[in-house]
Each structure stands twice: as C-alpha cells, then as structure tokens.
Structure 1
Amino acid sequence: MATDDMREGRRHQRRVILASCVGSALEWYDFFIYSSAAALVFGRLFFTNLDPAVGTLVALATFGVGFLSRPLGGIVFGHLGDRLGRKPILVATLLVVGIGTALIGVLPTYATIGIWAPILLVCLRLVQGFGAGAEYGGAVIMLVEHAPPHRRGFWGSFAPLGVGIGMMLASATFALVSMMPEQAFLQWGWRVPFLLSIVMVAFGIFVRARLSETPVFEKAVISRKAKSRMPILDAIRHQPRSFLVVLGARLAENGHGFLFPVFGLSYAVNQLGVLKSEALVALMTGYLFQIPAILGFSMLSDKIGRRPVYIFGALFSAAISFPFFAMLETNSFFWLVMAFVLTSGVGTAAMFGTQAAYFAELFGPSRRFSGFAFARELGSIIAGGPAPAVSAALVAWASGASWPVALYAIVLGLLTAVAVWFGPETYRSDITADERAPTGFARVALRPA
C-alpha cells in the first residue's frame, strides 16, 4: 500500500511537471506572439515611414533584438539560480516576460507618437528577452533534477513540450484575430493576444509558487556547501567542452526553430500571397504534431542516448530545407501544412526534445543553471535571433528566390551535427557529480566521445 509520504511525493512530482510545462507554455506564448506580430503587423504599424518590404524586414530584425538580452538574462538569473535555488528564479523570469508582453499590448503606434513607438517596442522586446534568457533553462533543470535517473529525457521533455503548446496557442490566437476585418485587426485586434498573457502568466506564477526546491540542488549544493561564487566563470573554465557543445547544438535547433516558422510564415504571406489565416493554421498544425513528437524523441533518447537522436534531427532538418520551400511555393494548403509538420514535428522536435536533458546533464549541479542558460542563450544570438532577418535579406538579394535560405538552413544543420558528434554522451551520467566533462579547450575537438 502507498503511504501518505509516497502519495504526497507523487503529487509533488505531478506539480513539478505541470508547473514546468504550463509555465514554459505561458512564457513562450508571450515570446512567440511577438514573432507572429513581427511577421504580420509591426512593419505596418511601427515602421510606417519605410517601404512595406523594408518595414517587414526591420520588424523581423526587432524580433532578433530580443536575443541580444537573453545571454544577459542567462548570466543574471543563472547566477541567482545557482546561488539561491531553482524555484524563486522560475517565478521571477515568468513575471519579467509577462510585464514586457503586456506593455507591448498597450503600446502606441508610429501614427500616435512617431519615432518613440519603434524605440519603445525594441525596449520591451529587450525586456522579454532578458526574462526568457533563463526561463527555459530553469524549467528544464527543475524537471531533470526531480526525475528518476533512467527517465530524465522523458521528464525533461515537458519543458520543450510547454514551448510547443505555447507556440501553438500563439499561432491559434493570431489565427483567430487575423480573421477580423483588416481595419479592426490593425487598430486593436493585434493587441488582444498580448493582453491575454496577463491572465495566463498570473496562473503560471500561482502554479510555480507551490513548488519545493529540487532534491539535487539541496543534496549536491546546499548540504555540501558547494555553492560557486561565480558559477558562470566556473562553467566556462572547468567545462569548456560542454559549453562549446551547447553553442554548436543550438545552431540548427534554434536557427531552424525560428527560420522555418517565423520567416516561413512571413515568406508565405508576404512573398507568395498565402492567406494569413491559412498560413497560421498550417503553422499551428505543425506545432500540434510537434507535441507528441517531442515526447517520443525524448523517450527514445533515454533508450539509445542523446547524441544519435539529436544528430538525426539536425540532419533531417538540413535535408528538408529545399523541400520546405518547394512545398510552400505550391500555394497548396495541404503542402503548406506538410511543410510545417515536417520541420516542426520531426526535425526540430528531435533536437528540441532531446536537448532538455542533454544540456542539463552536461554541467555539474553547482554551475548547471548558469552554464545551461548562458551557453544556450549565447547560441540564440548566433542562430535563432538573426535567422528571420538574415533569411529575409537573402530572399531580397536573390530577387525573391528561396534557394539561399535553404542553403543557409543546410549549413546550420551540418554544423550542429558535427558539434554534437564531438560532444559527450550523458544519458547514463550521474547529475549530482560536479564534473560532467573533460577540462581544457584542447580536448574539445580532438575526437568524438
């Protein structure tokens, strides 16, 4: 018979999964509604003094601006997470992103306050990025440090699962408001998804506030008094290989994760003339398929290892690059759906689902939050942040042709496959040990693990 302690333990495990999944979904809902708005409306409302094509390009560039503040958020909140614990930082990051998102929903446009409108938009985007810099890492670490050793991949997958749910909700919300009459949508309809986040973030904070600290942090850091004074510096100095593997692994996962859905959405609507509602439904369908795929690939990584699953995702995403644009250019709703399902539901899902446990396992407990968050978000600047704007610039350079963007996506996929090949395998490692990888930059690229 189950004792009261066992039942309470199971209830707390369910709360950990719910809090990480729901909180991650709500936070990334906030982050991704910006990408939809940047692709569909911000160019017309905040950059009205520019040519429409240039305005869209600049709006997509402001999406990338948020990635500049993410490493700073990773440093600040990661440091606090390794010093104070995982729980309080999860609440703080969600609150920061929620405030930034809600304020975008009430921001005056260029027609009202002129140049101050795009300036304030960029500032609020930086606030979003600052909070997002440690949100995902904290959610993953909370899950992985509570998980049974042989199921860390499965448990960790609930954080990226939340991201998929958040992106799907963002796409669905914008799909609904985009069905409004054009004038009403431009006047106030686009604001609704941003303002809805207030209620959603409040619920996420309520759920996360009920969690307890992770047993790994309590046992490996607090009880041993093993807190690092400067965890980010220790992560770089003692585990440089892990740090560089995370950077390389992010190139395809993050680059493709924003190139295909964000730029793909803009390309389909603005370049190919696809209806906004059809494009958003197709994108939402891709995210819908991504949810079970993340669980499946994460469970597979518990059986055969993180590296083979991750490398498969990177190579698949590279292989699908040219077919992705060919499917969009058919202007067929069926092939539009297939394009987003294959990129989001297979390639990105294989990398994103496996990434959660893999990145957490690469670092020791006293510097896990800092190493994970900073390295991951530094990769965002290189890969995900510039991907939509770089893609738009390549299409403009090629006079509307998509082939340079496909080549760009292939390069990202191959680089990630190489980086993970030279990384260590971690799925059977002891995550309470403070050393997770060989030290010394000389060992980084000598041979695959």
Structure 2
Amino acid sequence: MNTLSKASPQSPPGTSADVTGKDAGRVAFAAFVGTALEWYDYFLFGTAAAIVFNRLYFTTLNPTAATMAAFATFGVGFVARPIGALLFGWLGDRIGRRPALLITVVMIGCATGLIGVLPGYSSIGVAAPLLLVTLRLLQGIAVGGEWGGAVTLAVEHAPPGKRGRYAALPQVGSPVGTLLSSGAFSLVLLLPSASFDAWGWRLPFLFAFPLLLIAVYIRRKVEESPLFDELLKQDERAKIPALEVFRSAWGRLLVAMASAMLGVGGFYLLTTFAISYGSETLGVSRTLMVNATLLAAAVEIVVILVVGRLAERLGPGRVTLWGGVLSAVIAFPVFWLIDTKNPWAIVFAVMAGIAVLSVAYAVSGALLTELFPARLRYSGVALAYNLAGALTGFLPFAATALLKVSDGASWPAALLLVVLALLTALGGLLGERMRVSDNVTSG
C-alpha cells in the first residue's frame, strides 16, 4: 500500500468531487463559525494575560514577574494543544470528523465562560491562579483538536481545484476571533479602571456562552466528510493514527510544523507581546495597542481570502515560501516603528506586520491537509499545527524575559520573528514538493 502518493488532479469516488459548491460552502462556513468562536475564546486569554491577569491573579509578584507569570499561564495552553491533537486526532480519524468538532467547540466555550466567573487572588488566594491554569489547559486541549478538524472537514468537502478558497475560510476564524475579542476588550476598557478590574473584564469571557449555543446549532447540521465515509466503507482507518504519523510520516510532520510556525508564533509576537511591550515598556496607551490589533485583524481577513484563491494557482507551498521571506524582511522595521511611540506608526506597523505574516497563515490549511493522506489527516494536521504552537506559544514570555537583556529594546522580539519566518519559508519550499493525493486506497 502506497501511503504517501503524489497529488493527482483526479478524485476517486466518495471524495470531495461528489460534493457541490453549495454544500462545500455550507460546510466551510460551519467550520469558520466554530473556529471563530474557538479563536475568540483563545485570544481573549492572550489579551487578558497582557492587561488583567498579571494584576488580579499574580498580585504578590513585582510588575515584570507578574507579566511573565501571566504569559507563562498563556503558554500553558500551547503545551496542552498537542494533547488535544492526540485525543481528537484519534477521534477524528477513527470515529469521525464531525463528532470531534462538536466536542471541541463545547469544551472551549465552557472553559472560557467559566474564566468569566473565576474569583481573583484577593478572594480565594493561590487557588485563583491554579484554577486559571486549569481552565487554560482545557482551552488548549480543545483548540488542539479544533483547527485540524475544521480545515480537514472543509478541504474534504471542497470541489477539486478549489481547496485553497475553502481551506481559507476556517483561517478567517482567526482574525474574526481577534476582532471579537479585541473589540470586546476595547469596549470594556472604556469603563472606569475600578469597574474594569472589578467586573468589566469578565464580560467578554461570559459572552462565550451565547456564542457557544450559536456554534453548536450550526455545526450539528454539518454532514460527515465524504472521504471519511469512504474510509469507513473500505475499512482503511489507522488503528492508532498519531503513532502511524510519527512512524511513517515524521518527515512530513516536521515540514508541516515548520510551515505553521510563523502563523502561530509570529501572530502572538505582534499581538500579545506587542500589547504588553507597548503598554508596559513604552508607556503607550493599552487602548491604542488593542485597537491596533483590531484594525490589523480586519486587514487580515482580506489578505486571507485573496491569498487563499492565489494558492489554487501557485500552490500553497510556494505562497508559504514567499510569505515567510517577506515576513523576515519586515520584522525589524515593524518593531522600529512601534518604538517610535507614534500612534499612527504603531497602528501601521501592527497592521502591516500581521498582513504580511498572514500570507503564509492563509494557506496553512491547504498545505497541511495535502501533506497527509486521508486516513492520517486529522491527526497529522492537528499534531503539526499544535506542536508548532507548543514550540512558539511561549514566545511572548521569552520576548518579555529578553527585554531585561536588551535594556527594554525590541530587537530580540524582531530577531525571534525573523527566525520563525525563515523556518516557515523552508517549510513551504519543502512542502510544495511533498503534497499527496486523496485516493483513499493510497492512504
């Protein structure tokens, strides 16, 4: 059995060739809605880690140590994501893509909503940060299974030759989640400081509950992947998908991880770290920094939709390569502009930086799903993306720690962004040559 065959323009019976464009669009929209909720929940924590948790949950530490502790808690979610990839990858490749995605969306919605009712350190002492870490772990596990399943389901329903645009829709969930989370925090930051600290910051987290009901309603109507149905008929499922990925597709896993690093780690350097750096080190308004990420997310949506279609012509690997190279080129100029403390320069820098790194991110779904055969796809994609997240999730923490070494200068953060960008460019270069077909019997 040829596990990893080269891509073919032909699609076998039972694959996405049998799905209409209308059905594919409906499935991709459902994947987008769930992914937007997941990222809304996940990004809320990042923003709160920069401006809330350091003061309300780590009050016994000095300001710098408290910020680092909050970012470490933020990073815990990335460590948990590979666990979610293993768990939900098995469920998605053995039981079905659809049930896995229903569980992940419920799990993260509940964990996020509960953060909104979690007492602070002043009320329950050390139990407060411990419970915060626990809920962050649950968030991480859920996200670990969400993204890989969402892009897998969208791609496996997509008509031949149009995977780029449908794989891009779940990617739009990221900037929409950013818009929702940053917008929610922008609104509550209008409250007086005392009200914000007392109850205002909790409102965005509590909003996760009604969003969860909407996401579950939409996802329950989505049909199972036709490719997975074919795997069931032919009994071609892997017994332990993750083990088989590590054993027979480890090279592809490494390439996929490299190609995803910029979209994960680079994004958090230009959002979570940038918000903290601007407000805590440069003394810029927190509202300005949050609003900069808000505007950048709007630009990112356009970039993702345009680049998703471009990948259908050029190939997702080539697009990833050039996205990585361009991100490396603009890394230092972005932070130089932020260092000016000029509001317009900061907004432009964050918008431009996120727009450029979004070129590679836009096609991550298309590239990663084509690096693994159908029988290993959910596990392979989820593991690659979330191992990349685990390796890069502590970058805001690392960049904050390096501020002491650089006397508050931003060059270490810029250098980290360059390294991520070049790794992603290499992943795109290799990944374009390693794409596989969707022939069930070849997987």
Per the normalisation by structure 1, the TM-score is: 0.92
- Alpha-carbon distance in 2 for matches of 1:388, 1:165: 21
Conservation of the 8 A alpha-carbon contact between 2:102 and 2:219: yes
Conservation of the 8 A alpha-carbon contact between 1:310 and 1:351: yes
Residue 395 (structure 1) aligns with = 403
Alignment of 1:43-82 (within 5 A): 43-82=54-93
Residue 346 (structure 1) aligns with = 356
Give CA-to-partner distance per residue, 1:63-111, whole Å, 9 cap, x none.
Answer: 0011111000000011000011111111100011111101111001000
Alignment of 1:25-424 (within 5 A): 25-219=36-230, 221-347=231-357, 349-383=358-392, 385-424=393-432
* CA spacing shift, 1:434–1:312, aligned 2, 3 Å: farther
Give CA-to-partner distance per residue, 1:232-271, whole Å, 9 cap, x none.
Answer: 1112222222111012122222110111111011111111
> How many correspondences in the alignment?
425
Where do 5+ consecutive residues of structure 1 fail to align?
1-7, 437-449
Secondary structure, counterpart of 1:401 in structure 2? coil
- Alpha-carbon distance in 2 for matches of 1:104, 1:342: 32
Give CA-to-partner distance per residue, 1:141-184, whole Å, 9 cap, x none.
Answer: 11000001201011100001111111111111111111110000
Conservation of the 8 A alpha-carbon contact between 1:231 and 1:367: yes
Q: For residue 13 of structure 1, report the CA deviation from its aligned partner.
A: 3.0
* CA spacing shift, 1:276–1:434, aligned 2, 3 Å: farther
* CA spacing shift, 1:338–1:230, aligned 2, 3 Å: same
Q: For residue 9 of structure 1, report the CA deviation from its aligned partner.
A: 5.0
Residue 437 (structure 2) aligns with = 430
- Give the AA of the match of 2:258: G
- Alpha-carbon distance in 2 for matches of 1:131, 1:425: 31
- Give the AA of the match of 2:437: D
Q: Higher relative contact order at CA 8 Å, sep ≥6: structure 1 or structure 2?
A: 2
- Give the AA of the match of 2:185: F
- Give the AA of the match of 1:235: V
Residue 13 (structure 2) aligns with = none
- Alpha-carbon distance in 2 for matches of 1:435, 1:155: 24
Conservation of the 8 A alpha-carbon contact between 1:254 and 1:380: yes
Residue 441 (structure 1) aligns with = none
Where do 5+ consecutive residues of structure 2 fail to align?
1-18
Once superposed, what is the RMSD of the aligned Cα atoms?
1.5
Give CA-to-partner distance per residue, 1:300-354, whole Å, 9 cap, x none.
Answer: 111011122101111122111111111112222211111111111122x111111
* CA spacing shift, 1:325–1:378, aligned 2, 3 Å: same
Conservation of the 8 A alpha-carbon contact between 2:168 and 2:308: yes
- Alpha-carbon distance in 1 for matches of 2:295, 2:38: 20
Conservation of the 8 A alpha-carbon contact between 2:236 and 2:441: no
Q: Name the % identity.
A: 38
- Give the AA of the match of 1:397: V
- Alpha-carbon distance in 2 for matches of 1:420, 1:26: 28
Per the normalisation by structure 2, the TM-score is: 0.93
- Alpha-carbon distance in 1 for matches of 2:259, 2:20: 34
